[in-house]
Structure 1
Amino acid sequence: MMGDSSSSSSWSSQTDTQDDRMIALMLSEEYTKLDGAVGRRLSNLAPVPHVPRINSYIPNLNDATLDHQRLLQRLNVYGLCELKVSGDGNCQFRALSDQLYRSSEYHKQVRGEVVKQLKDNRTIYESYVPMKYKRYYKRMAKLGEWGDHITLQAAADRFAAKICLLTSFRDTCFIEIMPRDQAPKRELWLSFWSEVHYNSLYDNQAVPVQQKPKRKHWLF
């Protein structure tokens, strides 16, 4: 009887895992169809190449206020809208989660995938990290740790996605992060209030209603 119970539990776990992966695939394919609306709005902008780097300069209150006003003006000019995510230190991963799955609530899993990418591909990212590399990716594994431009590159690589940032930088309106060594399968659009906050970005006419997670546990 003990053997039968163990086999039943193992079979149930395998079934749940297969169900989770199927849901992830269906969601990803469904939302890929929505890609392109923001890109068409910004088709006349030349993107600036991305340079992976950690967070360093944090603007003072006056600079941050001016930066935010600049970002809002750009959103208005290009007919774009932010779907706001929580400013709890996880905003980059929440915004990526929303772009991938139309819910910011998968941010823990997105962070986990990004950290796995960093851990498994040390030679790609280590030169951009001005500290002990193991210390860096272990720090990034902690909830509430701010994502940076290195984690954006790792996310682009992990999810085979072109990540596009509409920024508040004075001289850099649009940054494009391309996946390394592979063609992008989709585009993810984020707004970036420089060194302060990320949000998920949409065309004004195509802002979705955020979905609740379909399962309590999510496996990629």
Structure 2
Amino acid sequence: MRNGAFVNDGCSSSTSINSQHDVEDDQMIAVVLSEEYAKLDGAVGRRLSSLAPVAHIPRINLHFPSSSDSNLDYQRLFQRLNVYRLYEVRVAGDGNCQFRALSDQIYRSPEYHKHVRKEVAKQLKDNHALYEGYVPMKFKHYYKKMAKWGLLLGEWGDHVTLQAAADKFAAKICLLTSFRDTCFIEIVPQHQVPVRELWLSFWSEVHYNSLYELRDAPVQNKPRKKHWLLF
């Protein structure tokens, strides 16, 4: 639609059908992978059992560290990863990193980040009363922003989207952070018992990666091809 008028560009119908097939196929694959990997062994949790988690307060990103502070923060995070013998699956820093890291934990591939983002945005939209008190802007504008993804254009996830992800996927999300005074943050579902644990490293306000015990570090596989590309 341009200036209130619908425009037929001659290919929109076929594009729409193909896009719908893409979404449906991605969702089908994501459901299968989710069922395969839903039960985690909790190895990372056992290794960090001596840490006392900090209570999580959902908030949006308002402050980002300087480059020098970021470097110091990453050195701190790197040291913690070594101390606890943990391995990061590094995901692209393209504005979608939180959703890529969550995708890797849920589906063992960061490539389903669009599906994860879509589900989180829907959780925000459908349950706005749970989250709007943490967002100092018009909430409709906020959840629409969070639905946006793209190469270097994806809206950065924040602590509100982490809470929404915990609620949507019935997951306890555990962050090993680079913060000086906060090593370990735990986000739990608000109204249900978690059925899985998702472990992320959090380079303070800069980047998320997926986290595993060193001996359980996964082999990085290419995402599965869509069924019509198998020939």
Counterpart in 1 of 2:10? Answer: none
Question: Residue 18 of structure 1: CA displacement?
Answer: 9.2
Aligned length: 203
- What one-letter code is carried by the residue in structure 1 that aligns with 2:33? L
Question: Residue 17 of structure 1: CA displacement?
Answer: 5.5
Counterpart in 2 of 1:189? Answer: 199
Counterpart in 1 of 2:219? Answer: 209
Unaligned runs of 5+ in 1: 1-12
Cα deviation 1:6-55 (Å, max 9, x = unaligned): xxxxxxx99x969954x444422332344301101101001001000000
CA contact (8 A) 1:191 1:200 kept: yes
- Normalising by structure 2, what TM-score? 0.83
- Normalising by structure 1, what TM-score? 0.87
Counterpart in 1 of 2:143? Answer: 137
Aligned equivalents of 1:155 and 1:210: distance in 2? 24
Name which structure has the greater RCO, CA cutoff 8 Å, separation 6+: 1
Counterpart in 1 of 2:165? Answer: 155
Identity of aligned residues (%): 72
Q: What is the Cα-based RMSD across aligned positions, in Å?
A: 2.0
Question: Residue 56 of structure 1: CA displacement?
Answer: 1.0
CA contact (8 A) 1:115 1:140 kept: yes
Matched position secondary structure for 1:81: strand
Change (3 A) 1:20 1:88: closer
CA contact (8 A) 1:164 1:188 kept: yes
Aligned equivalents of 2:197 and 2:141: distance in 1? 30
Counterpart in 2 of 1:44? Answer: 50
Aligned equivalents of 1:132 and 1:160: distance in 2? 27
Aligned equivalents of 1:115 and 1:149: distance in 2? 13
Unaligned runs of 5+ in 2: 1-19
Where in structure 2 are the equivalents of 1:18-57 lying within 5 Å? 21=28, 23-57=29-63
Task: Choose the corresponding residue for 1:172, options 178, 182, 194.
Answer: 182
Aligned equivalents of 2:117 and 2:49: distance in 1? 30
Matched position secondary structure for 1:200: strand
Question: Residue 61 of structure 1: CA displacement?
Answer: 1.1
CA contact (8 A) 2:171 2:195 kept: yes
- What one-letter code is carried by the residue in structure 2 that aligns with 1:56? L
Counterpart in 2 of 1:4? Answer: none
Aligned equivalents of 1:104 and 1:142: distance in 2? 17
Matched position secondary structure for 2:64: coil
Matched position secondary structure for 2:59: coil
- What one-letter code is carried by the residue in structure 2 that aligns with 1:114? V
Counterpart in 2 of 1:59? Answer: 65
